[in-house]
Chains A and B, each alone.
Chain A
Amino acid sequence: MPSSILVAHDGSSHAQSALKYALETFPDARIVLFHAIDPFETSPGEDRLSSLTEEWLQREREAAEELFEGALAELDVEPDTVDTDTAVGSPAQTIVAAVERTDADQIVVGSRGRGGVGESHVGSTAELVVKRASVPVTVVR
């Protein structure tokens, strides 16, 4: 059985379903809640990339903290029962890399992230993670 599960969260409802699924399905596992800080993601209302300054990174890390807190609060989970982790880079790459760093033996991801287009499509991040991960991956809708 998986003893340590990496749950990737980008703030989307699919990611939230993934977190809920992981908590319910593996109640005894250690959960590592992970957020990729993607330098190539533009937020709505912003038409150009952020400059990659220390301040930017600090802001992104704080935003990730808020994301984690919000996600866990919504599911009535005590924040200190879950580990968290962030990394800078493309979501798929950083998720796959985080597996080794955090010693996870399974990944749970949402089927689509925030940037998805059609409802029926699996996001490119989920597909890439499934292709590249060295551990089993559960994709949750």
Chain B
Amino acid sequence: MPTDHADAILVATDGSDASTAALERALAVAERTGAVVHLLAVADTAGSPMTFGVDDVEELELAKRRLVDGVVETIDDRDVDVSGVVRRGAPAREIVRYADETDVDAIVLGRTGRAGAAGAMLGSTADRVLRRTGIPVLVVPDAPEDGGS
């Protein structure tokens, strides 16, 4: 009964080290439980002070598509059912929305994304997701967990 707890896991990726660590965690869980992994990248059309032109958005979305496809390819040898998804919008909102739509059992994401320290000060995507969802959220630091010991 307990082992089928995580049937679907959503992992958000932005290509950062922390999101790579998050994916690794999710894969480890999925390999054990047989859960399906949804790998989501969000083309952030809300974060820039500039207004996006249609071409820019499409380019951004294409870049995210390549990112997701590339990551899915690198984990081809793992015994996990992974599907890559790209959405556009504000990252935290899209992550929460996708999680609700697909009824995932857990959300896994990196602590600091590519926005780095500035993003962390403003409130990271992880913080926003935590505040907006009722689904368990696993936040993974980018530092190796046994670093220093």
Taking Cβ atoms with an 8 Å cutoff, the residues of A that contact B are 1, 21, 23-25, 27, 105, 111, 120-122, 126-127, 130-131, 133-141
Complex Cα spacing A135 to B144, Å: 8
B32 touches A136 (CB 8 A): no
Interface pick from B43-51, B72-80, B130-138: B130-138
Pairs across A and B, CB under 8 Å, 25 listed: A1-B29, A1-B32, A24-B5, A25-B2, A25-B6, A27-B2, A111-B130, A120-B131, A122-B127, A126-B130, A130-B111, A131-B111, A134-B141, A134-B143, A135-B145, A136-B25, A136-B138, A137-B139, A138-B106, A138-B137, A138-B139, A139-B136, A139-B137, A140-B136, A141-B135
When distances are taken between beta carbons in the complex, the residues of chain B under 8 Å from A137 are 138-139
Chain A's closest residue to B140 (CB) is A136
CB neighbours of B6 from chain A (8 A): 25
**Chain B: interface secondary structure?**
mixed
Nearest A residue to B21 via CB reads A136
Nearest 4 Cβ contacts at the A-B interface: A24-B2, A136-B140, A138-B138, A141-B134
| B2 with A121: CB separation less than 8 A | no
A10→B46 CA distance, assembly (Å):
38
Beyond A24-B5, A141-B136, is A127–B141 a contact (Cβ under 8 Å)? no
